[in-house]
Amino acid sequence: MKILADENIPLASEAFSSLGGVQTFSGRTVQAAQVRDADVLLVRSVTRVNAALLEGSQVRFVGSATIGFDHVDRAYLRERQMGFASAPGCNAISAAEYILSVLLVLAQQQGFDLKEKTVGIVGCGNVGSRVLGMLKALGVPCLVNDPPRAEREGAAGFVSLETLLQAADIVTLHVPLEKSGAHPTLHLADAAFFAALKNDGIFINSSRGDVMEQAALADKLSRHAHFSAVLDVWEKEPAIDLSLLSQVLLGTPHIAGYSFDGKLRGTEMLYRAVCAYFQQTPNWSAQPYLPPPLVTELHFSHSADDVAVVRQAVWSAYDVRADDARLRVCPSSKSPAQHFDGLRKNYPLRREFAALQLHLPPGREALATPLQALGFRVQCKK
């Protein structure tokens, strides 16, 4: 069996070699001729999987090491009776940690207390629900808009998008890209959306670039000096709008979910899906391949206040400002698109909060609970 895997899926060769021969490819430039004799195709979000890529091939199974699958023509796969699996939730923890790092940076830069702001979460699935849990643990007021969930579960706990936009000080998007159906999200954040947002509010998008209209966001930013935005995703990636990058407070190259933990979780999820499809017994695990984080533990003193402890813990695990700085400095030898893709391909090691051990002094037991809810391992000294 021949397995063709995106070169940015970590440990693909190690995971899948027991099932067949593994070859890697560039997800952005893969051609139909490369795919023709493969039995299994493993991609990430940059590869459009459709008839143009697969027609005439012998591919029997397609896997995407991503939460979303708007880049995959699933109707075509069903028509051709090809198996399919994605990796829902594989990087949800990492994406939620990205949002928390962002919010702590903005709170420090703009001099506000997060507990005094209302955060509007649009889309409360794998990522949004984790963001909600983290913010509740820190005592931050939240509003949630998720029409599909509200229809399934009842209206309690959810608000309309109109209510959320009018009341929230900070709005963060965590929706899939849906171009049709009962709840389309293509250009959900349009001119009317931004007009409804507070003129001193904050907008964050780490879901999909096409969920927003960038021109409408740029107009809002240019008209209102106290309105802020943070973008991890962009229209027309990797050829992002550099003028918009100059307007946003923080800009990153679609890496919110790029923890090494999340990537390996996605690899293992696909491996198990392929094993199930071809009726093979799985015998590979990602756990032994997780390296130690750059910072393994932190010790806090009595003098550190709660906010300072949370900030230091979060930023020691992941500081979004480093990714923002890297995106803004494009070498003269590369185009902006090459720079964007290069940052994703050569992303530095990033472990999730759970890899970091925190040591609190006696008498700070009350702080242990929210820190553990954020995902950290916490020990209170006696």
Instruction: State the Cα torsion 120-125-128-134 to the nearest 10°.
Output: 120
Is 302 in the active site? no
- In the set 44, 130, 174, 254, the catalytic residue is 254
Q: Which one from 97, 237, 268, 352 is the annotated catalytic residue?
A: 237
| φ/ψ of residue 250, rounded to 5 | -135, 130
Is 65:45 a contact under the CB 8 Å cutoff? Answer: no
Contact predicate 291/26, CB 8 Å: no
Reply yes or no on whether 237 is catalytic: yes
Residue 123's contacts (CB-CB under 8 Å, 6 or more residues apart) are 145, 146, 173, 174, 175, 176, 185, 207
Q: Is 208 a catalytic residue?
A: yes
* Token digits of residue 117: 């702001």
Decide: 61 and 84 in contact? Cβ < 8 Å. Answer: yes
Rounded to whole angstroms, the Cα distance separating 255 from 260 reads: 11
d(CA 219, CA 244): 10
Tell me if residue 119 falls in helix, strand or coil: strand
Please report which residue ranges of the chain form alpha helices under DSSP H.
12-16, 32-35, 51-54, 74-79, 92-110, 126-137, 147-153, 161-167, 191-196, 214-223, 242-247, 260-277, 306-317, 320-328, 336-345, 365-374
Selected catalytic residue, list 71, 208, 311, 364: 208
Q: How many angstroms separate the CA atoms of 8 and 30, rounded?
A: 13
Distance CA 359, CA 14 (A): 36
Q: Measured between alpha carbons, how far is 276 from 290 in angstroms, rounded to an integer?
A: 24
**What positions carry a catalytic annotation?**
208, 237, 254
